[in-house]
Amino acid sequence: MNTLTLDQLRPFAANDVLYRCYGHVIAAGDGTLLVVPITLVSGDLRQLVDGCPVSYHEALTVIETPISMDLPVCVDDGMHCRTVRNLIHLDANPWRIQPARLAVGSDAIWILNSSSGARCGITPDMAFQTE
């Protein structure tokens, strides 16, 4: 995979603000959290805000949850929200999906994982929201 530019990641961030935390560039949107290893990103990294836009636990859940490689998902099938469909622009290779919980008893979120290492945590209600 080629490196990603900051401009490619901005559409996933509320107000186009990108963060640097845990060795990742983080873009937080409404019900979504995109995390990309900083080694996959090119551009002026001074544009990144140092810090985490969500709780550290939420960010680490998306970054560290083991992904089962036998759960492929088609992100550009027209059935998902724009955020999920736009993941294809970051990595055209197959994405994998892994349910995860932020807390015991909480509703599951989905973690979409690309072969390159980019990940997107999303609440299921947002994944199928139509624009």
Tokens representing 88 are: 């294809």
- Listed by start position, the domains of the chain span 4-127
Put the strands of the sheet holding 19-21 in their side by side order.
49-50, 19-21, 24-29, 32-37, 119-122, 108-114, 95-101, 72-73
- 98 vs 72: which has the higher pLDDT: 98
Predicted confidence (pLDDT) per residue in 38-74, tens digit: 999 999 999 999 999 999 999 999 999 998 877 777 6
Say what the pLDDT of residue 81 is. 67
To the nearest whole number, what is the mean pLDDT of the chain? Answer: 87
Query: CA distances (Å), 33 to each of 44, 52, 55, 70, 80, in order?
Result: 21, 11, 11, 22, 16
pTM of the model: 0.89
3-state class (DSSP) for residue 13:
coil
CB-based contacts of 123: which residues, under 8 Å, 6+ apart? 31, 32, 107, 109, 110
pLDDT-based confidence at 124, cuts 50/70/90?
confident
Q: What is the largest CA-CA distance in the chain?
A: 41
Parallel, antiparallel, or unpaired for β 19-21 and 24-29? antiparallel
Say what the pLDDT of residue 4 is. 93
DSSP 8-state assignment for residue 95: E
Say what the pLDDT of residue 120 is. 93
Tokens representing 82 are: 């724009």
